[in-house]
Amino acid sequence: RPSVVFEDVVFGYDRDRTILKGLSFEVPAGHHVALVGPSGAGKSTIGRLLFRFYDPWSGRILIDGQDIAEVSQTSLRAALGIVPQDSVLFNDTIGYNIGYGHPTGEATPAQIEAAAQAAALSGLIERLPARFDTEVGERGLKLSGGEKQRVAIARTLVKNPPILLLDEATSALDTRTEQDILATLHALSENRTSLSIAHRLSTIVDSDSILVLQDGRLVEQGNHAQLLRMD
């Protein structure tokens, strides 16, 4: 279970606009840190930098003490699992959709089944060979928003990543489904280091500390009780 550290990270997509303005924080090994803040604050950008879709202008990002600029793409991908808000499912079997998350794309049936189980996809386990179909599911399997999100979670889990990045993982769901999925994510974070991005305090997966990002800067840091007074 590695730690994640941002060290004075400065970044923008265009030269004339800085998005992250010298950002420093640490997610200690095995801890769960949440990141909240208004839309546009730069929260998702942090995730994109972690995956090295972009590199910082200055500053460093460390995983387990190692600058990610010096880590191979393969080990970076193995270390990080992301659960995004809207995952794209392929018109293919549920099993394929889950196994696709494996670094080699060739998860074994046992790995796929274990991931489905961990994502609490119990009702779908017998239907792993069934096809999901975006074409309003005439021939294919219809999945609810929550089921689709569980498939996405299973896809992430199939590689058993030590670090979980949850980027608004439940914000596209209705409240009841959101609570169910939050409980699952909570259980899955248990043995991992996690960074959970949310725009509301109430949808944070249990966290050891919460960082508030505003306009590319950390403006507050505290636990749930301290921050609820300011929500």
What are the residues binding ligand ADP (CB under 6 A)?
A: 13, 19, 37, 39-45, 47-48, 51, 77, 82, 84, 167
Neighbour order of strands in the sheet with 217-222: 80-83, 163-167, 193-198, 32-36, 209-214, 217-222
- Beta carbon nearer to ligand ADP, 38 or 139: 38
Closer to ligand ADP by Cβ: residue 126 or 148: 148
With beta carbons less than 8 A apart as the criterion, state whether 187 and 117 touch: no
Query: How far is it, in rounded angstroms, from Cα 205 to Cα 166?
Result: 9
To the nearest whole angstrom, how small is the minimum distance from the Cβ of residue 13 to ligand ADP?
3
Q: Which residue, 61 or 139, is less far from ligand ADP as judged by CB?
A: 61
Minimum Å gap between C-beta 42 and ligand ADP is: 4
Tell how strand 80-83 and strand 163-167 pair up: parallel
CB of 51 to ligand ADP, least distance (A): 4
* Residue 5 or 50 having the CB closest to ligand ADP: 50
Q: Compute the Cα dihedral for 87, 35, 33, 21 and give only its sign.
A: positive
Our separate counts of H helices and E strands in the chain read 7, 10
Shortest Cβ 107–ligand ADP spacing (Å)? 11
